[in-house]
Chain A
Amino acid sequence: MSNNLRFKTSKFIDETYRISFKFNNKTYFGFKGDTLASALLANGVHLVGRSFKYHRPRGIMTSGSEEPNAIIQLHDNSSRTEPNVRATEVEIYEGLVASSQNCWPSVNFDIGGINNLLSPILPAGFYYKTFMWPASFWEKYEYFIRKSAGLGKSPKVADPDIYEHNYIHCDVLVIGAGISGIIAAKMAAKNGFKTLLVDEKSYLGGSSIYDNSEFSKINNHLTSSWLEKEINEISKLENLEIKTRTSVAAFHGYNFLLARENLTDHLPVNQRENKVRQRLLKIRAKKVITATGSIERPLIFDNNDRPGILLSSAIKKYIDLYGVACGKNNVLFTNNDTAYETAMSLIQRGIKINAIIDNREQIDSKISYEVEKNNIKIYKGYSIVETYGYRRINKISIMKLSKDGQTVIGNKTKLNCDCLGLSGGWTPAVHLFTQSGGKLKFREEDQVFIPDVYPSDQISIGSCNGDFGLEEIVKNTLSSLKKFLNIDNSEYKTIEIISGLNQSKRNIWLLPSDKSIGKTKSFVDYQNDATSKDIKLALREGFRSIEHVKRYTTTGMGTDQGKLGNMHALGIISETAGTKMGEHGTTTFRPPYTPLTFGTIVGRNVGEFFDIFRRTPIHDWHVANNAEFENVGQWKRAWYYPKDNENMHQAVQRESKAARDSAGILDASTLGKIDIQGTDASEFLNRVYTNAWSKLAVGKCRYGLMLNEDGMVYDDGVTTRLGENHYIMTTTTGGAANVLGKLEDYLQTEWPELDVYLSSVTDHYATISVCGPNSKKIVSKVIPDLDLSDEKFPHMSFKNTKIDNIKCRVMRISFTGEHSYEINIQANFGKSVWEKCMEAGKEFNITPYGTETMHLLRAEKGFIIVGQDTDATLTPIDLQMDWIVSKKKYDFIGKRSLYRSDTIREDRKQLVGLLTENPEEVLEEGAQIVADIKKSPIEMLGHVTSSYYSPNLKKSIALGVVKGGKNMLGQKLIIPMENKNINVTVADPVFFDKEGERLNAKL
């Protein structure tokens, strides 16, 4: 059967290059140049899949990216598997393995086909209506519904391919390389515009490149030959870049477009290694010319979905471009002249046409007369009412249409066929235009939506602009371009076009049937199995807006976004509701135009580049010493250093004890550091912090609290006065970037008169904090020249010094409550200084500790962590930090908010300490705090913010926020947990060394 479906043909198929491929485990052959669809058709295979809901047999319907039915799984069970690929777009290659989706056990015999018989009880909204009750059962229903639904299978392992992103800037982008796109690209490039021409197909020229009809000629040449010459010419233009296999996925505002360039999908599998598979092009074009063409409409009648039913234009393309006959006994069903072009192509090759069924009573065009001359029977004013054949169409029934086209009359005639071509006219592909924000208008004569208002510097040309005749396309394209590019088109001054087609059309959105609508299955959306019946049901149930009807019936919600049927859905709605087309809106086309694989979207941002992280200069040491890491903002911070199979708790207890008993060392390099200079630096700090800064002496450090204008705590840290007009501010690790941004904002917008300069120096310094009773001895070993006496170097002061001739800054500040030093040194010396400290501290059992121990030690001291104990709803007063809020300063950020009626309420949540009745019981952070568990509903007073077991106090300690907590000291509260209630007592948040004796101890 297969051989005589292939005809000697065009230059598009290389018959010397035979390719074998597998479809549903069977081996077939095709030729280089074939798509999977054309190769299957050449082998007589129409049935390629089952439909989504009713599991009806479905065949190849189209020849392009609009394909709703022939969506297949590529390379199932391999790492390169890809679901929902359109067979009409896959170029075959050696090693191709494809299989049908949505069927089990096989596409020929599919158990799910039972749904087709059950269809009377599976109307639109069936799932919504049926599985709602009782609501608690949804979880049970869901399992079965999910199991039976779905298209292809997603890959189970990581994608082995490489993808990348490219930016492209051009003067003119031309989308679509059909005849108008080719003309546009040539004119733009020749007039000095840097031009990019893209097309989703592997070849240039669109449908005109295989238009060999005597009925459409340009300058007395066949359209195909004329265009070929043009393509030859533009391929030599320097200003023009051409990208084929490149599909524009999205057209955003300001002429920003995303396109997928396919680089290896057409190559034999063994030639793809180490090559970039696809590129996501991010195109910014000064001007965009959309020449995306149009999509042929099917016709909507009973059982219009059987395998063997294709668009008429697809049949033409398969024979003219691929040399493949879709059937040996064809019938064409049309309401316009384009089907006659298909007829001529079939006639030229001697392929049988049994009949043409034309909705129109009057047909008056040269091409139709020519077809009639070839003894083809044309049924004028007829319509198809029924089709037959389960896995392949074998018969149709036709009846005469009434005058108004609303009913069928007379007797039924049956006709045999193995292939039926549908032509319902053309729908301009306005998807990209509407994505860009363009507004459409409806053209009554031929019932199409065409571009009306352009939101950016762009035009649509050719049939996507509603120009369908060859002459119209070329002439209108030329005049549009002249205006749009402001050029003279002497290039095409004398262009003669003949066309044998007439643009008349008899548009009937839903063709009438001799059966009641309830008994028909006229598919509007093939992929989602939505029928005209479903749409009418939705309207009866009160839906009007197309967006609602769409969601209720799922029309247009498949992976093809209803490229074929959306117009019919709109038409049926307006006819049924008696409204004008477009009155209920058109559906919104959303990117991508055709599906993109995730690999293309993420590009190189995979693996370690997915979410980049920052490492401190001492990171390698932490790794070498077995540290566990924690993510803090973008940083990887050492969390704890387990020794000898310790778990986290054991490690943290050991580290915490060592830091207080002898010495601990912490990598604090991640703290944000902002260098502040300028004659107004002190005044600036006065305005951004709650406390006063003017009197801070050079060489001294001070802790500062920063608020938002609403009075809520924003950030904190120690700032050091390095010189008269020079400070270094530290911020929290996570807040560094935002604090810098906020300071810049105020400087630029509110206080531009201040002479202050800011630079982020976070990465410039490594910061090593050495704490504990032996810290002084260790630091004196590392920096012997530095006088560490309390007189010369008291708490909260700083010294410029050197370690081995390398300048460094040492601050005596403490976040643990211990005597401690912070050494800041140029980042690249960080690791060696750290190792020096470790060496010097060896005799004191210096213990590296991570963020967890740091948190525990500061919690013992009741020091807050912004972002853990605070959450942008707490003022310094709520935190019991009244001492840091200057009463004298006239203004600072957030001051006025501290005495708004809301912020002075006594019953605000306030920070308190919490001690458990059982000292061994450690609370869960985030747990709710209540007073009375008998009251219903139970009043939530607050929650636990920090909680640890303190090895130094040998008991559990916690911080929390509690409504009115300040006045509840000593009061008993309850933490209700899943299995028990934990009794706690409100305590002072400072648990350890409240007097600060350890800080000031003589060492």
Chain B
Amino acid sequence: MFLINCPFCGEREQSEFKAGGEAHIVRPKQPTELSDDEWAEYLFMRKNIKGVQFERWNHIHGCRKWFNMVRDTSNDQIKAVYKMGEKPPVK
């Protein structure tokens, strides 16, 4: 079970959190301008990387804030956590 360093609360048990899928997928500002394919790209296409992955997490049983996490899915090492809107601190 992960020990997750919530950017707002500090280290907490994984059971307090909810995973929210891939990070840095921005909702298009003008969806109506998009073709079906472009919209489908936003709507459905997600990466599933073995290795370093950027993820959204929510401290659902804590401060309820969403934040981002960089995690290596091959060994579950959490490389970084950072707030929404911030640039990832690692590549």
Chain A positions within 8 Å of B, measured between CB atoms, are 252-256, 284, 437, 455, 709-710, 741, 744-745, 748-750, 752, 890-891, 895-897, 900-901
Residues on the B chain within 8 Å of A895, using CB: 31-32
Q: Report the minimum CB–CB distance from A896 to chain B (whole Å).
A: 4
7 tightest Cβ-Cβ pairs between the two chains A and B: A896-B31, A256-B1, A254-B3, A748-B66, A750-B27, A253-B76, A896-B39
Q: Give the CA-CA distance A253 to B77 in the complex, in Å.
A: 9
**CB-contact partner of A900 in B1, B39, B60, under 8 A:** B39
Q: Give the CA-CA distance A255 to B3 in the complex, in Å.
A: 9
Query: Of A254, A710, A890, A901, which is in contact with the most chain B CB atoms at under 10 Å from its CB?
Result: A254
B51 at interface (Cβ–Cβ under 8 A)? no
B40 in contact with A284 (CB, 8 Å): no
A709 in contact with B66 (CB, 8 Å): no
B1 in contact with A897 (CB, 8 Å): no
Chain B positions within 8 Å of A, measured between CB atoms, are 1-3, 13, 18, 20, 26-27, 30-32, 34, 36, 39-40, 43, 56, 58, 60, 64-66, 75-76, 84-85
**CB-contact partner of A741 in B31, B58, B75, under 8 A:** B58
Q: Give the CA-CA distance A744 to B66 in the complex, in Å.
A: 9
Residues on the A chain within 8 Å of B2, using CB: 253-254
A253 in contact with B1 (CB, 8 Å): yes
A744 in contact with B76 (CB, 8 Å): no
Residues on the A chain within 8 Å of B30, using CB: 891
Residues on the A chain within 8 Å of B75, using CB: 437, 455
**CB-contact partner of B60 in A256, A741, A748, A750, under 8 A:** A741
Q: Report the minimum CB–CB distance from B36 to chain A (whole Å).
A: 5
Q: Give the CA-CA distance A709 to B40 in the complex, in Å.
A: 10
Q: Report the minimum CB–CB distance from B23 to chain A (whole Å).
A: 9
**CB-contact partner of B40 in A741, A744, A900, under 8 A:** A900
Q: Give the CA-CA distance A750 to B20 in the complex, in Å.
A: 14
Residues on the A chain within 8 Å of B56, using CB: 749
Of all chain B residues, which has the CB nearest A167? B13
Q: Report the minimum CB–CB distance from B73 to chain A (whole Å).
A: 12
B3 in contact with A256 (CB, 8 Å): yes
B84 in contact with A437 (CB, 8 Å): no
Of all chain B residues, which has the CB nearest A256? B1
Q: Give the CA-CA distance A669 to B65 in the complex, in Å.
A: 28
B76 in contact with A901 (CB, 8 Å): no
B1 in contact with A745 (CB, 8 Å): no
**CB-contact partner of B34 in A252, A745, A896, under 8 A:** A896
**CB-contact partner of B32 in A255, A256, A890, A901, under 8 A:** A890
In the complex with contacts A891-B31, A896-B34, A254-B1 CB distance below 8 A: yes
Apart from A741-B58, A745-B66, A897-B43, 5 more pairs, CB < 8 Å: A252-B1, A254-B1, A255-B3, A284-B3, A709-B43
Residues on the A chain within 8 Å of B58, using CB: 741, 745
B64 in contact with A744 (CB, 8 Å): yes
Q: Report the minimum CB–CB distance from B65 to chain A (whole Å).
A: 7
B32 in contact with A891 (CB, 8 Å): yes
Contact sample, A vs B, 26 pairs, CB 8 Å cutoff: A253-B1, A253-B2, A254-B2, A254-B3, A254-B76, A255-B3, A256-B1, A256-B3, A284-B3, A455-B75, A710-B43, A741-B18, A741-B60, A744-B64, A744-B66, A745-B20, A745-B58, A745-B66, A748-B65, A748-B66, A890-B32, A891-B32, A895-B31, A895-B32, A900-B36, A901-B36
Query: Of A256, A891, A896, which is in contact with the most chain B CB atoms at under 10 Å from its CB?
Result: A896
A-B contact count (CB 8 A): 53
Of all chain A residues, which has the CB nearest B32? A896
Q: Give the CA-CA distance A516 to B66 in the complex, in Å.
A: 67
Q: Give the CA-CA distance A900 to B56 in the complex, in Å.
A: 27
Q: Give the CA-CA distance A284 to B12 in the complex, in Å.
A: 11
Residues on the B chain within 8 Å of A741, using CB: 18, 58, 60
A748 in contact with B84 (CB, 8 Å): yes
Of all chain A residues, which has the CB nearest B28? A896
Q: Give the CA-CA distance A455 to B75 in the complex, in Å.
A: 8
Q: Give the CA-CA distance A896 to B42 in the complex, in Å.
A: 11
Q: Give the CA-CA distance A741 to B56 in the complex, in Å.
A: 14
Q: Give the CA-CA distance A890 to B13 in the complex, in Å.
A: 42
Residues on the B chain within 8 Å of A901, using CB: 36
Q: Give the CA-CA distance A453 to B31 in the complex, in Å.
A: 49
Residues on the A chain within 8 Å of B34, using CB: 896
A752 in contact with B39 (CB, 8 Å): no
Residues on the B chain within 8 Å of A253, using CB: 1-2, 76
Q: Give the CA-CA distance A405 to B26 in the complex, in Å.
A: 68
Of all chain A residues, which has the CB nearest B42? A709
Residues on the A chain within 8 Å of B36, using CB: 900-901
Q: Give the CA-CA distance A891 to B30 in the complex, in Å.
A: 8
A749 in contact with B66 (CB, 8 Å): yes
A752 in contact with B31 (CB, 8 Å): no
**CB-contact partner of A897 in B27, B39, B60, B84, under 8 A:** B39
Q: Give the CA-CA distance A249 to B26 in the complex, in Å.
A: 43
Residues on the A chain within 8 Å of B20, using CB: 745
Q: Report the minimum CB–CB distance from B27 to chain A (whole Å).
A: 5
Q: Give the CA-CA distance A254 to B13 in the complex, in Å.
A: 10
Of all chain A residues, which has the CB nearest B56? A749
Of all chain B residues, which has the CB nearest A253? B76
Residues on the B chain within 8 Å of A897, using CB: 39, 43
Q: Give the CA-CA distance A254 to B11 in the complex, in Å.
A: 12
Residues on the B chain within 8 Å of A745, using CB: 20, 58, 66
Q: Give the CA-CA distance A890 to B29 in the complex, in Å.
A: 11
Q: Give the CA-CA distance A749 to B85 in the complex, in Å.
A: 8
Q: Report the minimum CB–CB distance from B17 to chain A (whole Å).
A: 12
Of all chain A residues, which has the CB nearest B38? A896
Residues on the B chain within 8 Å of A437, using CB: 75-76
Q: Give the CA-CA distance A254 to B2 in the complex, in Å.
A: 6
Q: Report the minimum CB–CB distance from B45 to chain A (whole Å).
A: 13
Of all chain A residues, which has the CB nearest B64? A744
Q: Give the CA-CA distance A744 to B20 in the complex, in Å.
A: 13
Residues on the B chain within 8 Å of A709, using CB: 27, 43
A752 in contact with B43 (CB, 8 Å): no
Q: Report the minimum CB–CB distance from A436 to chain B (whole Å).
A: 11
Residues on the A chain within 8 Å of B39, using CB: 896-897, 900
Q: Give the CA-CA distance A745 to B59 in the complex, in Å.
A: 11
Q: Give the CA-CA distance A890 to B26 in the complex, in Å.
A: 18
Of all chain A residues, which has the CB nearest B60? A741
Of all chain B residues, which has the CB nearest A456? B77
Residues on the B chain within 8 Å of A455, using CB: 75
Q: Give the CA-CA distance A900 to B43 in the complex, in Å.
A: 11
Of all chain B residues, which has the CB nearest A437? B75
Q: Give the CA-CA distance A895 to B32 in the complex, in Å.
A: 8
Residues on the B chain within 8 Å of A896, using CB: 31-32, 34, 39
Q: Give the CA-CA distance A455 to B78 in the complex, in Å.
A: 12
Q: Give the CA-CA distance A514 to B78 in the complex, in Å.
A: 57
Q: Give the CA-CA distance A900 to B42 in the complex, in Å.
A: 13
Q: Report the minimum CB–CB distance from B39 to chain A (whole Å).
A: 5
Q: Give the CA-CA distance A748 to B68 in the complex, in Å.
A: 12
Residues on the A chain within 8 Å of B26, using CB: 750
Residues on the A chain within 8 Å of B84, using CB: 748-749, 752
Q: Report the minimum CB–CB distance from A770 to chain B (whole Å).
A: 35
Q: Give the CA-CA distance A710 to B39 in the complex, in Å.
A: 10
Q: Give the CA-CA distance A252 to B3 in the complex, in Å.
A: 11
Q: Give the CA-CA distance A284 to B3 in the complex, in Å.
A: 9
Q: Give the CA-CA distance A750 to B42 in the complex, in Å.
A: 13
Of all chain A residues, which has the CB nearest B33? A896
Of all chain B residues, which has the CB nearest A748? B66
**CB-contact partner of B85 in A254, A710, A752, A900, under 8 A:** A752
Residues on the B chain within 8 Å of A750, using CB: 26-27
Residues on the B chain within 8 Å of A749, using CB: 56, 66, 84
Q: Report the minimum CB–CB distance from B52 to chain A (whole Å).
A: 16
Of all chain B residues, which has the CB nearest A890? B32
Q: Report the minimum CB–CB distance from B44 to chain A (whole Å).
A: 8
Q: Give the CA-CA distance A891 to B29 in the complex, in Å.
A: 9
Residues on the A chain within 8 Å of B64, using CB: 744
Q: Give the CA-CA distance A439 to B50 in the complex, in Å.
A: 18
Q: Report the minimum CB–CB distance from A380 to chain B (whole Å).
A: 48
Residues on the B chain within 8 Å of A744, using CB: 64, 66
Q: Give the CA-CA distance A222 to B43 in the complex, in Å.
A: 72
